[in-house]
């Protein structure tokens, strides 16, 4: 049955194009006759008719047809006529009249013609051709509007009164969509920070004011929905909108970025709830992975903590870089099973090897290095929860310090090429056991850099949005269970990054390291956890104080109000990637001195002696001050 349908569709398209061509030709000749007739003060009509039927007129018609076909003006659907179609009409008329003018000037002595009539015919031809298209577009929009008005009430959505943030190109397209689909709602105002647009209108809708006044504008206009119509919009705009509307019932939606849309078209149906990723105070970072491929391709790669949020994403990205083998190490069999099955069933990866084991188990790790001889180690395994590690400090030390040292010792002895350790901003001037353990791990990495063939470095993460155990995961659970979000302190703030950003930072660090360095991502300004909580409630379609609440619980113990990305003793320089910074570290204690100090720390941890652990940590690095 398909071929007849295809033939009918194609035939219908050609018939429409032929009809359009005939209409345009008729208009061309009618305006030529009319212009000449007016030029002759309406005395007789033979000459204009003779002109259109003789050589110059026939040539003009042929040129017009050729230019129209070349620019495809007959194939454009008049119901969707746009300024681009009008531009093409103008170009067709200009080409036709310019070539005809040259012909008439050559035949000046043989053909009777008038320059005034010729110019008038060109203008009239363009106006009429553009006019019939505009009329067709207007008729189509009116019929569409009537059709949607006739949708039964039970089939139509509840109409929204919509404020649109952004009075630019995207805002104009969104307005067009609401006009074409009135059952989805009606636009009652525009919000834009550009003072030159204040009080102006776009498609009859007035610009009411800047984002700072959006709550008042929403109340005045009776708005129930806000659409952020700024593709690739700055996260600061999103956060400002959410913050200002936090105490209102107005819902917030955003549009996909332009890179997500086909041919730049925007549709109201594609509005989506704002994702937490939108709340970054900056544009998400992205880097070129070609330098990473250069050192990963054909090598055996070991990823520790491969079942976690970061480790599993490292695994996914490394598999695309064509390693000879990928060893996925983890203690939890369920997590390793999930990522292993994902690679086999969905990615078709055959080079990945799952290994269950504890990095603190020296015998197991020795077997792993003897068996697989990894060239590159991405070390993502760690204990990371601050309050939990305050209650179990010995585990933070034994795992984060002892496990890292075991891996580094084996990496050096087995001739590994690169070791990238994942650290945290809490390792800068630490005030808790988790941050202190990661700081000592950084020092252990640093003293092993350059030993044998090994190039070792660390990367410092901020809080990773969407990772397991992150604040966003806690908020989601709290909102589902009690609709009460728990915030430790109204002034506490943190740096945030996305999982893909974090992993690209890890991978690039292996290529960028020059020795005695640590890498950090440019994460913009820190975000207050209270603001994040208010925005999260808004994202869920709820109102702070009515549908959900926020309670301040107080500091959970040894938590900083604001984290740091580097210390005063460290020097920060740029890299070849704008989003990544290299922290040059001062020379640290020699391995021969650090080794017994770390041994003393691990002994204190095995003895569960918190006071001895504090003293050992401070002795290794005086910047560590745990109360």
pLDDT (tens digit per residue) in 93-128: 888 888 877 877 777 655 555 677 778 878 888 888
Q: What count of Cα atoms within 13 Å lies in the side-chain half-sphere of residue 231?
A: 18
CA gap 327, 317 in Å, rounded: 14
Mapped onto helix, strand or coil, the DSSP state of residue 192 is: coil
Torsion from C-alpha of 103, 106, 109, 113, nearest 10 degrees = 30
| Residue ranges of E strands in 72-127 | none
Q: Could you give the C-alpha distances from 538 to 54, 61, 214, 534, 541, in angstroms and in order?
A: 73, 62, 15, 6, 5
Q: Are 35 and 121 spatial neighbours (Cβ–Cβ below 8 Å)?
A: yes
Task: Determine, yes or no, domain membership for 382.
Answer: yes
Residues 118 and 220 grouped into a single domain:
no
The pLDDT of residue 73 is: 83
B/e letters for 280-295, b = 16+ CB within 10 Å, e = fewer, are bbbeebebebebbbeb
User: How many CB atoms sit inside 10 A of residue 453's CB?
Assistant: 13
Residues 141 and 262 grouped into a single domain:
no
For residue 374, the 8-state DSSP code is -
Strand order in the sheet with 300-304: 352-356, 325-330, 300-304, 376-379, 418-424, 455-461, 517-521, 580-584, 571-574
The pLDDT of residue 168 is: 80
Task: Determine, yes or no, domain membership for 310.
Answer: no
Residues 584 and 442 grouped into a single domain:
yes
Q: Could you give the C-alpha distances from 159 to 153, 154, 542, 567, 605, in angstroms and in order?
A: 10, 12, 19, 54, 63
Higher pLDDT, 233 or 404: 404
Question: How many domains does the chain fold into?
Answer: 3
Give the largest Cα separation in the chain, rounded: 117
Residue 551 φ then ψ, to 5° = -120, 140
The three-point CA angle 176-178-181 to 5° equals 110
The pLDDT of residue 407 is: 98
The pLDDT of residue 401 is: 98
Cα Rg of the chain, angstroms? 35
CA gap 81, 89 in Å, rounded: 11
Mapped onto helix, strand or coil, the DSSP state of residue 151 is: coil
User: How many CB atoms sit inside 10 A of residue 378's CB?
Assistant: 30
Query: Which residues are part of the catalytic machinery?
Result: 426
What's the pLDDT tens digit per position in 200-230?
Answer: 888 888 899 999 999 999 999 999 888 888 7
Give 263: exposed, middle or buried? Use CB within 10 Å, 0-12, 13-18, 19+. exposed
CA gap 175, 155 in Å, rounded: 22
Q: Could you give the C-alpha distances from 413 to 42, 451, 516, 598, 602, in angstroms and in order?
A: 103, 9, 20, 19, 22
Task: Determine, yes or no, domain membership for 583.
Answer: yes
Residues 142 and 166 grouped into a single domain:
no
Q: Could you give the C-alpha distances from 354 to 351, 372, 404, 421, 620, in angstroms and in order?
A: 10, 12, 20, 20, 36
Task: Determine, yes or no, domain membership for 384.
Answer: yes
CA gap 251, 231 in Å, rounded: 18
Residue 150: closest CA among 127, 183, 121: 183
Residue at which a domain ends, from 149, 184, 201 = 149
Residue 238, domain extent = 160-274
Residues 73 and 202 grouped into a single domain:
no
Task: Determine, yes or no, domain membership for 2.
Answer: no
Q: Which residue has the tokens 């901020």?
A: 462
Sequence-ordered list of residues with C-beta below 8 angstroms from that of 604, at least 6 positions apart, any chain? 397, 612, 613, 615, 616
Residue 352: closest CA among 393, 377, 318: 318
424 has which bridge partners? 461
Residues 144 and 164 grouped into a single domain:
no
The pLDDT of residue 392 is: 96
Residue 158 pLDDT exceeds 60: no
What's the pLDDT tens digit per position in 43-82?
Answer: 555 555 556 656 667 778 888 888 888 888 887 777 667 7
Q: Are 509 and 268 spatial neighbours (Cβ–Cβ below 8 Å)?
A: no
Residue 356 φ then ψ, to 5° = -95, 125
Task: Of 54-68, 361-375, 499-513, give the range with the top mean pLDDT.
Answer: 361-375
The pLDDT of residue 109 is: 54
Sequence-ordered list of residues with C-beta below 8 angstroms from that of 549, at least 6 positions apart, any chain? 483, 484, 485
Residue at which a domain ends, from 224, 244, 274 = 274
Residues 59 and 138 grouped into a single domain:
yes
Stated as kind and residue range, the H or E segment containing 97 is helix 83-106
Higher pLDDT, 525 or 115: 525
User: For the chain, how many residues are written?
Assistant: 627
Residue 369: closest CA among 476, 459, 275, 452: 452
CA gap 48, 46 in Å, rounded: 6
Mean pLDDT, residues 470-493: 86
Task: Determine, yes or no, domain membership for 462.
Answer: yes
- Average the pLDDT over each of 118-122, 360-364, 583-587, 617-621 and give the range with the smallest value: 118-122
- In this structure, are strands 251-254 and 493-494 parallel, antiparallel, or unpaired? unpaired
Residues 443 and 422 grouped into a single domain:
yes
Residues 107 and 220 grouped into a single domain:
no
Residue at which a domain ends, from 149, 168, 187 = 149
Residues 406 and 493 grouped into a single domain:
yes
For residue 275, the 8-state DSSP code is P
User: How many CB atoms sit inside 10 A of residue 613's CB?
Assistant: 25
pLDDT band at 266 (very low <50, low <70, confident <90, very high): very low
Residues 110 and 169 grouped into a single domain:
no
- Average the pLDDT over each of 38-52, 453-467, 528-542 and give the range with the smallest value: 38-52
Q: Are 304 and 327 spatial neighbours (Cβ–Cβ below 8 Å)?
A: no
For residue 433, the 8-state DSSP code is H
pLDDT band at 468 (very low <50, low <70, confident <90, very high): confident
pTM for the full predicted model: 0.65
Q: What is the CATH number of the domain that holds 182?
A: 3.40.50.720
Residues 97 and 168 grouped into a single domain:
no
Task: Determine, yes or no, domain membership for 402.
Answer: yes
Task: Determine, yes or no, domain membership for 318.
Answer: no
Task: Of 351-355, 480-484, 536-540, give the range with the top mean pLDDT.
Answer: 351-355
The pLDDT of residue 149 is: 53
């Amino acid at each position: 049955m398909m071929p007849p349908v295809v033939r009918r569709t194609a035939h219908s398209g050609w018939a429409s194009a032929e009809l359009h061509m005939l209409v345009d030709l008729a208009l061309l000749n009618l305006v030529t006759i009319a212009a000449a007739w007016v030029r002759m003060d309406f005395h007789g009509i033979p000459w204009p008719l003779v002109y259109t039927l003789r050589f110059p007129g026939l040539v003009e018609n042929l040129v017009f047809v050729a230019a129209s076909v070349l620019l495809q003006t007959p194939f454009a659907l008049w119901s969707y006529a746009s300024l681009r179609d009008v531009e093409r009409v103008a170009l067709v008329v200009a080409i036709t009249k310019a070539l005809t003018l040259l012909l008439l000037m050559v035949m000046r002595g043989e053909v009777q013609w008038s320059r005034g009539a010729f110019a008038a015919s060109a203008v009239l031809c363009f106006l009429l051709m553009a006019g019939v298209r505009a009329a067709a577009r207007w008729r189509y929009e009116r019929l569409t509007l009537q059709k949607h008005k006739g949708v039964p009430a039970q089939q139509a959505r509840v109409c929204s009164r919509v404020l649109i943030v952004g009075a630019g190109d995207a805002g104009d397209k969104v307005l067009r969509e609401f006009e074409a689909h009135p059952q989805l709602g009606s636009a009652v105002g525009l919000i834009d920070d550009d003072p030159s647009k204040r009080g102006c209108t776009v498609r009859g809708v007035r610009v009411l004011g800047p984002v700072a006044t959006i709550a008042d504008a929403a109340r005045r206009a009776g708005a129930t929905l806000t659409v952020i119509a700024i593709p690739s919009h700055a996260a600061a705009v999103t956060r400002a909108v959410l913050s200002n509307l936090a105490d209102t019932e107005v819902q917030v939606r955003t549009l996909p970025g332009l890179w997500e849309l086909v041919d730049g078209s925007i549709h109201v149906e594609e509005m989506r709830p704002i994702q937490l990723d939108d709340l970054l105070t900056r544009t998400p970072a992205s880097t070129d992975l070609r330098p990473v491929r250069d050192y990963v391709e054909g090598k055996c790669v070991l990823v520790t903590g491969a079942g976690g949020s970061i480790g599993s994403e490292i695994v996914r990205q490394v598999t695309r870089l064509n390693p000879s083998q990928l060893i996925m190490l983890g203690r939890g069999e369920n997590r390793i099973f999930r990522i292993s099955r994902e690679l086999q069933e969905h990615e078709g990866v055959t080079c990945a090897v799952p290994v269950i084991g504890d990095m603190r188990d020296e015998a197991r790790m020795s077997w792993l290095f003897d068996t697989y001889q990894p060239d590159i180690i991405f070390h993502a395994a760690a204990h990371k929860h601050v309050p939990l590690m305050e209650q179990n400090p010995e585990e933070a030390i034994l795992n984060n310090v002892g496990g890292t040292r075991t891996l580094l010792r084996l990496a050096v002895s087995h001739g590994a090429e690169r070791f990238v350790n994942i650290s945290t901003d809490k390792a800068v001037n630490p005030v808790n056991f988790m941050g202190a353990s990661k700081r000592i791990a950084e020092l252990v990495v640093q003293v092993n850099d350059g030993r044998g063939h090994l190039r070792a470095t660390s990367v410092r993460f901020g809080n990773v949005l969407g990772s397991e155990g992150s604040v966003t995961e806690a908020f989601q659970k709290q909102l589902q269970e009690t609709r009460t979000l728990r915030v430790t302190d109204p002034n506490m703030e943190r740096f945030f990054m996305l999982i893909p950003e974090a992993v690209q930072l890890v991978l690039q660090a292996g290529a960028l390291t020059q020795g005695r360095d640590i890498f950090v991502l440019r994460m913009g300004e820190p975000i207050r956890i209270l603001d994040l909580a208010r925005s999260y409630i808004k994202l869920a379609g709820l109102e702070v104080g009515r549908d959900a609440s926020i309670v301040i619980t107080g500091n959970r113990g040894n938590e900083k109000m604001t984290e740091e990305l580097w210390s005063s003793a460290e020097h920060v320089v740029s890299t070849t990637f704008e989003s990544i910074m290299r922290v040059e570290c001062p020379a640290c204690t020699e391995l021969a001195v650090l080794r017994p100090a770390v041994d003393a720390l691990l002994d204190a941890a095995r003895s569960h002696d918190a006071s001895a652990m504090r003293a050992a940590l401070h002795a290794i690095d005086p910047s560590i001050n745990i109360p």
